[in-house]
Amino acid sequence: MDFVIIGGDAAGMSAASRARRQYPDLTITVLEQSYDVSYSACSMPYNIADPQTPMENLVVRTAAEFVDKHKIDLRTGHKVTAISKDKRQVSGRTADNEPFCTGYDKLLIATGAAPTLPDLPGKKLLMPLKQLEHGRQIKQAIKDRRAKKAAILGMGYIALEMCEALTILGIKVSIIKPSYRFLPWLPEDLAQIVKDELFRNGVDIHLGTAVKSIKAKKDKVYLHCSHMTLDADLALGATGVRPCSELARDAGLALSVSESISADSYLRTSDPNIFAAGDCADAFHVVTDKKVWIPLALRANRAGWAVADNLFAEKTRLQGVAGTAVFKVFDLAVARSGLTLYEARAAGFDPVENRITSLSRAKWQAGAAKIHVNMVGDKKTGRLLGAQMVGTDGVAHRINAVVVALHASMSVADFIQTDLAYAPPFGPTWDPLLTAAIQLEKKL
């Protein structure tokens, strides 16, 4: 059987590797338009912050390893431009503009997501950060331009991580956003804590500022905004991503939320011989059981594994996602899982939220710091719906307790009864999550 994969990053190479382990005689072909495969994109901001570490250190496994060790026909520089469902073929062009055509019995679309840059004059001057090559270009630009000032369009995860990376390099950072809400999925008082951390580290925040055009003059980039002009040595675009679903759309496959490719719990598309996994595909939300598009690294790898499991039969069914995320902003960790109050209301729940401030460790322990938890529950059923957390200590892994509870559809009352670990160096007797749940239960 011929198993063809379009896309050679997380989902694609996870599927290829697992399929090879399970089916040694399977013919596996991976078509990747770039020359980079299997790398840690999430680590790029931290790599950029260290001029001495090459971007190549983020490559988990090289193309040559997949070919030589795993006997996978990995073809880099191959851009697929069309899928023929009737003929079970994919076609496209190589980097040398040579046409190619490959037949398949089973096909995986793992084309990922692409940056969305604002449509304005001079947008080509914006440098995105999504692919490994983007990271190389930014790193080289910082060196070549001896950058001292940077402007970032956007205030999402990547933008805020890049604030820290550039500041470490001694670069003055300004971040810009046309709307007035900073991190809109956080309650405003928690979002203010994050803003204060940015201010404390010298980052300028321009909310309610629309960029009208971008121009380059000599060695500077000028961002002409609604009420001011910012100059910088480099301008980054971190305004979000979109699913790369054009191939699926043009082939007549069903699309879903945000134009992502519609896939069932076994990763099958509307064509039984075609799978979709990774940032190009949708998922079910474990709280609402509705389709969502939330591009996540763990989901991409897990979905790739599941595709390999399901090539010949329905073996692995994925539960879905809870929308779990955590990111670092200087000394702060910011995390979320499940639904916010507004998301829960839009999903048809009768939500209640409650915020608490506790300590990350027993108060007499060195390193004890404030930790802020906002927890959301459903008044009708008592079910736990989600949580958001901000703090300098103990945030990143605490959110995982919420994630497990969401996957288990636990009530707030049941969560209060969970036997969470306790020792003074790691938390107070009543963990901040338990305190948050107790206070939320009173409101419910």
The length of the chain, given as a count of residues = 444
The burial of 81, by beta-carbon neighbours within 10 Å (0-12 exposed, 13-18 middle, 19 or more buried), is given as middle
Q: What is the 8-class DSSP label of residue 260?
A: P
Location of structure tokens 């999903």: 347
Closest CA to 323 of 347, 345, 299: 299
Furthest CA-CA distance within the chain: 70
Q: How far apart are CA 323 and CA 157, in angstroms?
A: 13
Q: Which of 399, 278, 377 is nearest to 327 (CA)?
A: 399
**Among residues 42, 101, 163, 244, which one is catalytic?**
42
Q: How far apart are CA 305 and CA 299, in angstroms?
A: 10
Cα gap 314→405, rounded to integer Å = 26
Cβ within 8 Å of residue 131, ≥6 positions away: 34, 36, 41
Calculated CA dihedral for residues 198, 201, 204, 205, nearest 10 degrees: 0
Active site residue 225: no
Residue 153 CB contacts under 8 Å (≥ 6 apart), including other chains: 117, 118, 126, 159, 175, 176, 177, 211, 223, 235, 236, 237, 238, 239
The alpha carbons of the chain give a radius of gyration, in whole angstroms, of: 23
Helix axes of 10-22 and 297-309: crossing angle, nearest 10 degrees: 30
Torsion sign (Cα): 208, 211, 217, 221: positive
- Is the separation of the CB atoms in 133 and 300 below 8 Å? no
* Enzyme catalytic residues: 42
